[in-house]
Amino acid sequence: MTSTEFRIGGDLDVRRMGFGAMRLPTEAGPARETSLAVARRAVELGVTLIDTAHLYGGGANEELLAEALYPYADGLQITTKVGVARSGSGPEAEWKLDGRPHVLREQVEHALRRLRVERIELLQLHRIDPEVPLADQLGTLRELRTEGKIGRIGLSEVTVAELDQARAIVDVASVQNRYSLVDREHEPVLAACETAGIAFLPWRPVAGAAAGSTAEIAAVAGELDATPAQVALAWLLDHSPVILPIPGTARIDHLEENLAAAHVRLTPAHRARLDRLPLSA
């Protein structure tokens, strides 16, 4: 039986099927109202891990989640990411990696205010900035952890070598890399996380499967009375006990479809067929 829960960092209990908030529109109007409803419905359906980032609207996504969900239900964790900032202002401003200590600290302080919390239980470095020493980036997050402003430190889009380097500096509780049934470029990183008991949060977890990109996924879905996206998510849950999928959507029906994947049970034969699928380039 596939476990439905995981302890991030060994002590933070969450349900393995989470929700990625990136796709939620934040602009005023009907779309924002739908976004609020989607976030609330996710929690109603038992989600205890929601992923956001400073990059998503420059903090607007964080504010949206607070508006929708504060005061937070017991056990609900909203994880955010820092380390990407806009260069300058106005229409010409661009987002770029920025791991300078004062930027990371500022973004964490803003996230605390926007999320209306005194401590972020899981804070992830959105990307490693190659222009700033890794020890400076992670050292800043370690200082914030010591100050009680964050509980655990995670990484995003890292290689095995980068993960090893980071773990020599701080305890790493999570890794968020692109990964799915048909995109397994980061299988070595997943293996390293599994060995170390580190949570692995795949983003774009149903890429290539939501539309039934292969006949085999569609065939398995038909045999299980499920959708291709549900099969892709069920495969992730079954593939490794450290995987915590965070599928995102701006529609309640898609949200409900995704979360129902936790109840899809693959047989060994189904798993073998899916394991043999050709992978995307």
Query: Do strands 94-97 and 150-156 pair parallel, antiparallel, or not at all (unpaired)?
Result: unpaired
pLDDT score of 87: 76
Q: Which residues of the chain have pLDDT under 70?
A: 1-2, 88-92, 209-213, 280-281
What's the pLDDT at 91? 65
Q: Record the tokens describing residue 183, joined without a space.
A: 């995109």
Per residue in 116-135, pLDDT (tens digit) is: 999 999 999 999 999 999 99
R_g of the chain computed on alpha carbons: 18
pLDDT for res 89: 66
In this predicted structure, what is the pLDDT of residue 94?
Answer: 87
- What is the model's pLDDT at position 205? 94
Residue 214: the pLDDT is 81
Query: Any catalytic annotation for residue 70?
Result: no
* Residues whose CB falls within 8 Å of the CB of residue 281, separated by 6 or more in sequence, listed in order: none
Q: What is the DSSP string of 47-78?
A: --EEE--TTTTTTHHHHHHHHHHPSPPTT-EE
Residues 56, 70, 72, 179: which is the catalytic one?
A: 56
Task: Centre a 10 Å sphere on the Cβ of residue 172 and count the other Cβ atoms it contains.
Answer: 23
CB 42 within 8 A of CB 50: yes
Q: What is the pLDDT of residue 247?
A: 97
In this prediction, residue 93 carries a pLDDT of 73
CATH code at 5-208+242-249 = 3.20.20.100
Distance CA 62, CA 217 (A): 35
Q: Can you give the residue ranges of every domain in the chain?
A: 5-208+242-249
Q: Is the pTM of this model over 0.85?
A: yes
